[in-house]
Amino acid sequence: MKIEQKRINRREFIALSSAAGAAGLLSSIPGAAQAADFPSRKMQTYIPTRAGGGADRNFRAFSGVWSKHLGIDFEPGFFPGAAGRVGYETYMAKAADDCHDLIFGNMGPEVLNWVVKKPSFDLGAYQYIIQVDADPGSIFINTNSSMKTIDDVIAEGKKRTLTVATSRLAHPASLGMLVLAAKTGMKVNLIPLSGGKNTRNGVLTGETDLGVLPATTVMGRKNINILGLFDEKIVLPDRMPKAIAINTEYKLGLPPLAAGARAFGIKTSALDKHPDRYAKLIETAKMTFADPAYAEAVKKAKAPIEFIAEGYADQCKAYFDDITAVGKEYKDLLTG
């Protein structure tokens, strides 16, 4: 079932890929015929957050179906710590560049993290290749709060400093909140509670005035109202009847930065060495998105299928650049 032939394969394929030429841009390699004996071992996936979190949920849904099309199992390894830094550093240090080792993370907070503090490796040394979801950032509130709308929140925030629960400081949802505060003149104090569940509980116990999180984490939860999304439209109006599209409503001048934008990444050197394998990964990922079993798996994981966002290297790159630009603009606020 799983043969560990790492060394032999690597040598063979160095020869193969040098014959094919070191292709820089890889999306146009036709067919996957050369990658016939790929994958030859379990796909090791590094996840830079804790097991049981949002990334874990999306990973299981996608890899469960993807493994069918790729013909091999995925094995996740969880490397939480320092806002994803540990996972990425471990991946860059330990992963083989034979296309069997991937990283699966949430691009938003993790890229923002690089804006705040650069990692030890070069940012070009890895790239995201397959995006699986776009989960908008939301502002949510305890149902028994006196504030019922975003306008209420802003009015209150002009009177006193509001405490806002968030997963991390360097997070697209935090960023959205900071931009909203800056544009409307209200005062907020972000309270990072590490992780969706803690953030939700911070609002539920009444310890903070409100919270910001990817919408999936709070949608349909008891005693929680979603007041708005950091987006240009409300994808699921019936699941969050009170929500408004904050980006357009308050003219934030932000691109729609999904707070949850989970994606598979890979070492750039692996892509350079094995364009054929990369092509096979993309081809099978496309088959996965097209497979009705995937939508089923997402539903089963209690994530809305409306947030599935099929994207590849280009879309990921665009997101990466957008969030880096906005992050740089508000860097001072993110570190406070």
Partner 1 sequence: MEIDLSVLPSLFVEALAYWWVIIPATVLGIVVGAIPGFSAANTIIILLPLTLSMSAEAGMIFMVAIYTASRLGAGIPAILVNIPGTAGAAATPLDGYPMSISGRGQQALAISFTASVFGGLLTTLMALILIPWLSQVAFHLHSVEMIVVMLFGISLIATISADDTMKGLIAGLFGLMIGYIGADVVYEAPRGTFGFLELYDKVPLIPALVGLFAISEAFVVIERRVVLSESDDGIKVAPGWSATLEGIRDTLVRWKHVVWTGMLGLVIGVIPGAGAAIASFVAYQQSRIFSKTPELYGTGHVEGLIAPESANNGVTSGTLIPLLIIGVPGGATAAIMAVVLEYHGVQFGPDLFESNPLVGYGPFVAMAITYVLLGLLILPLTRYFSNVLVVPTIYIAPIIIAFTLVGSFVPRAYVFDMGVAIVFGIIGYIARKTGYHVAAILIGVILGPLLENFFLRALRISQGDLMTLFSSNIGNVLWVLLIASLFAAPLKRRLAGR
Partner 2 sequence: MSELPPDPPRNVLPDLIIPGLALAFAIYYLTTITEVPWIAQASAVLVSGLLLLSIFAFAIRTAYRLKAGTEIIRLSGLIPDQNLLLKRLVLLCLMIAYVWFLEDLGFTLSTFVFLILAILLLSSLANWKKALAIALAASVIGYVVFIFVFETRFPKGPIERTIEEMRDGN
Positions in the binding site for partner 1 (CB under 8 A) = 50-53, 56, 77-83, 85-86, 89-90, 113, 117, 161, 163, 168-170, 189, 191-195, 197, 201, 204-208, 222, 335
Residue 251 binding: pick among partner 1, partner 2, none (C-beta 5-8 Å cut-off by kind): none
Closer Cβ to partner 2, 258 or 333, answer by number? 333
Residue 268 binding: pick among partner 2, partner 1, none (C-beta 5-8 Å cut-off by kind): none
Q: Which stretch binds partner 2 (CB under 8 A): 1-9, 24-32, 101-109, 155-163?
A: 1-9
- For the bound state, the minimum distance from the C-beta of residue 3 to partner 2, rounded and expressed in Å, comes to 6
Q: Strand runs (DSSP E) across the chain, as ranges? A: 43-47, 74-78, 101-106, 126-133, 137-142, 162-166, 188-192, 210-214, 224-229, 244-245, 262-267, 308-312
CA torsion sign for 171, 191, 167, 139 is negative
Residue 279 binding: pick among partner 2, partner 1, none (C-beta 5-8 Å cut-off by kind): none
Neighbouring residues of 211: CB distance < 8 A, sequence distance ≥ 6:
139, 140, 141, 164, 165, 166, 199, 200, 202, 203, 218
What residues between 43 and 102 interact with partner 2 by CB under 8 A?
75
- For the bound state, the minimum distance from the C-beta of residue 65 to partner 1, rounded and expressed in Å, comes to 21
Under rule CB under 8 A, residue 36 binds partner 2: no
Residue 1 binding: pick among partner 1, partner 2, none (C-beta 5-8 Å cut-off by kind): partner 2
Answer for which of 2, 160, 233, 328 binds partner 2 (CB under 8 A) is 2
Residue environment code for 262-289, b if the CB has 16+ CB neighbours within 10 A, otherwise e: bbbbbbbebbebbbbbbbbbbbbbeebb
- For the bound state, the minimum distance from the C-beta of residue 35 to partner 1, rounded and expressed in Å, comes to 27
- For the bound state, the minimum distance from the C-beta of residue 7 to partner 2, rounded and expressed in Å, comes to 11
- CB-neighbour burial class of residue 88 (10 A; exposed 0-12, middle 13-18, buried 19+): buried
Under rule CB under 8 A, residue 25 binds partner 2: no
| 143/91 Cα distance (integer angstroms) | 41
Under rule CB under 8 A, residue 1 binds partner 2: yes
Q: Are strands 188-192 and 74-78 parallel, antiparallel or unpaired?
A: unpaired
Residue 255 binding: pick among partner 1, partner 2, none (C-beta 5-8 Å cut-off by kind): none
CA dihedral 242, 247, 252, 253 (to 10 degrees): -170
- For the bound state, the minimum distance from the C-beta of residue 267 to partner 1, rounded and expressed in Å, comes to 18
Please give the distance of CA 268 from its chain centroid, rounded to a whole number. Answer: 19
Residue located via tokens 């394929």: 13
Binding site for partner 2 (CB under 8 A): 1-4, 75
